[in-house]
Structures are given as C-alpha cells and as structure tokens.
Amino acid sequence: MTPIPILVVDDNAANAKLVAFLLDKKGYDVRIAVDASEALAVLSSFKPRLILMDIQLPGMDGLELTRRLKAEPATRDIVVVALTSYAMKGDAERAREAGCDGYVTKPIDTRTFAETLARHLGSGTA
C-alpha cells in the first residue's frame, strides 16, 4: 500500500519534527516546509492528500496560503488542517472561513494526533 502523502507547514523546527515523527511512525509520507514560499515550492512536485498548516508563518500567513490553495483547481481538494499554538477566540472560525477543513491546537496530544488526522483523511473534512 502506498503511504498517504502529508505536507507539514510550520516555521517551528521542533514542532515540525515532532509532527513528522508521529506521522512517520504511522506510515505516512511526510514533507516539511517552513513557510508559504517553501510550501508552494514543495507542492510543485509533491501532491499531499493533507496539509497541516500553521496559522502563524513568517511572510504570508497560513490562512492566506490556505485561501490561495483552495482557489486553485490543482490544490483545492487537498484537506487542510490548521495547526496553531495561538488558540484565540474566533481562530477556528477564521480558519474555516479561509478554507481549512479542520483545526488542531498545539501542544498536540501525541496519543491521539494520528487518529485525529486519519478522521480528516477519511471524511475529507471534520
């Protein structure tokens, strides 16, 4: 069985490595991008089924990148899950309005994280 491709977009190296480690253990094909520009470059040759999108990115933020991806025919069907440590009132709603299919706060629960993502992948949304 071919591993499911996932792109992690997070400028915090420790967070990105933890997420990649957890997903690698579950057999996913994981790539990491540290900002929107790198994510767009990765997407030119890597077609993920899911993107874990940090909201707070340097330069273009994760919500703007999500809007752009959802506006493009080639990327609009990718499941995007917002991943943020700045969980403020209204953030989940803003993420959904930008086109995110789900919302996960950091610190992540390492025991349930992969199962949460599997639900997003299974339904397309959560």
Is there a contact between 6 and 49 (Cβ–Cβ < 8 Å)? yes
pLDDT in tens, 29-62: 999 999 999 999 999 999 999 999 999 899 999 9
What is the Cα–Cα distance from 73 to 52, expressed in whole angstroms? Answer: 19
Residue 26: pLDDT over 50? yes
Architecture category of domain 5-123 in CATH: 3-Layer(aba) Sandwich (3.40)
CA distances from 123 to 12, 49, 117 (A): 28, 12, 10
pLDDT at residue 125 above 60?
Answer: no
CA 16 to chain centre: 10
pLDDT in tens, 84-104: 876 667 778 889 999 999 988
> What are 72-88's pLDDT values in tens digits?
999 999 999 998 876 66
3-state helix, strand, coil in the chain (%, to 5): 40, 20, 40
Report the pLDDT value the prediction gives residue 124, as an integer from 0 to 100. Answer: 44
Domain chopping of the chain, boundaries: 5-123
